[in-house]
Amino acid sequence: MFIIATLAYTLIPSDYEKITNHVFDFISLVVVVTVLATAVKYNGKKSRQLNWIFIFLALLSWLVADLIWTFYIYMGKDPFPSLSDIFYVIGNILLFVAVFRKYLNVRKVASLRDNLNALFVFIVLLLVVSFTVLLPIIRSDSPLLDKFLLVFYPVSGMVTIFFAVILISAFGAGKERLAWFFVFAGVCVWTMANTLFAYYDWNGIYTLAYNLVNLVYLAGLLFIGMGAYIRLLALEGVDKS
């Protein structure tokens, strides 16, 4: 159902922004419910359950932000920056906490190579994004709040990616690794969407690329939702055995 809704989203003309917002919010809600179901299934495994609770809270915060964004669109007001950004920021922080907590569980088995791979990816991403997006924004005469948010979203994602690369590299084989791989992919795609948003908004052409950027955001949600669903199926299999 989630994939069908995502495909349907691509068929909606960009002129129908209110409709696309509703479809986006519905898809976000499906992912939030899926992650919550996964967290609930971890009954009795508090440490692992808490990681998925943080992911759930992050996605829930983003959903609230999306609903506020939709409200601003209905009111004919500029949704950026606005109250919605408080929840977008909170969501990014909570997702980082989830990945970092999982990283703490595997850091002892992470090799020097795992850490160097993560550092290499982080440095490459930081250099590319800094010279193409971040530095021009910082040097611009945009309002301070705008600059902070447009820099915070990509950077927070890249920091999360750093720990996610170590996490995936150090993980052993198994369905839990596959689930977290999808979560990691979702973080990467979501960071890409944040970078595109920062670039297009700073250049004043975000409305022209609205559906494109939202489609990238949806792809990130799809990966995170798939990771949660894979883990949910694995936990249900354990209960039945």
Give the whole-angstrom CA distance, residue 58 versus residue 34.
13
Q: Given this model, what pLDDT does residue 241 score?
A: 39
The structure tokens listed for 209 are 């690329």
Q: Which of 33-47, 180-194, 200-214 has the lowest mean pLDDT?
A: 200-214
Q: Which of 111-120, 167-176, 194-203, 208-217 has the lowest mean pLDDT?
A: 167-176
Question: On the CB side of 184, how many CA atoms lie within 13 Å of its CA?
Answer: 20
DSSP secondary structure string for all residues of 153-185: HHHHHHHHHHHHHHHHHH--SSHHHHHHHHHHH
Q: Given this model, what pLDDT does residue 146 score?
A: 94
CB 84 within 8 A of CB 58: no
Q: Given this model, what pLDDT does residue 113 score?
A: 87
The sign one gets for the Cα dihedral 231, 238, 60, 70 is positive
Q: Given this model, what pLDDT does residue 20 score?
A: 72
**Which residues, 6+ apart, have CB-to-CB distance to 140 below 8 Å?**
147, 202
Q: Given this model, what pLDDT does residue 58 score?
A: 97
Closest CA to 129 of 111, 150, 110: 150
Which has the higher per-residue pLDDT, 55 or 171? 55
The structure tokens listed for 162 are 């750093």
Give the whole-angstrom CA distance, residue 79 versus residue 85.
9
Which has the higher per-residue pLDDT, 109 or 160? 160
User: How far is CA 112 from its chain centroid?
Assistant: 27
Q: Given this model, what pLDDT does residue 1 score?
A: 54
Average pLDDT over residues 155-160: 95
CB 110 within 8 A of CB 146: no
* Cα first-last separation, the chain: 28
What is the length of the chain?
A: 241
Q: Given this model, what pLDDT does residue 18 score?
A: 65
Q: Given this model, what pLDDT does residue 10 score?
A: 54
Task: Tell me the pLDDT band of 177, cut-offs 50, 70 and 90.
Answer: confident
Give the whole-angstrom CA distance, residue 70 versus residue 76.
10
Q: Given this model, what pLDDT does residue 93 score?
A: 97
Residue-wise pLDDT tens digits, 91-101: 999 999 999 99
Share of the chain above pLDDT 90, in %: 58
Average pLDDT over residues 125-150: 94
Arithmetic mean of pLDDT over the chain: 86
Alpha-helical segments (H) within the chain: 2-11, 17-41, 46-74, 84-106, 112-129, 135-139, 144-170, 175-202, 210-240
Verify cis geometry, omega within 30 degrees of 0, for the bond prior to 81: yes
Residue-wise pLDDT tens digits, 7-53: 555 555 555 566 777 778 888 999 999 999 999 998 767 778 899 99
Q: Given this model, what pLDDT does residue 197 score?
A: 92
Over 90: is that where the pLDDT of 150 sits?
yes
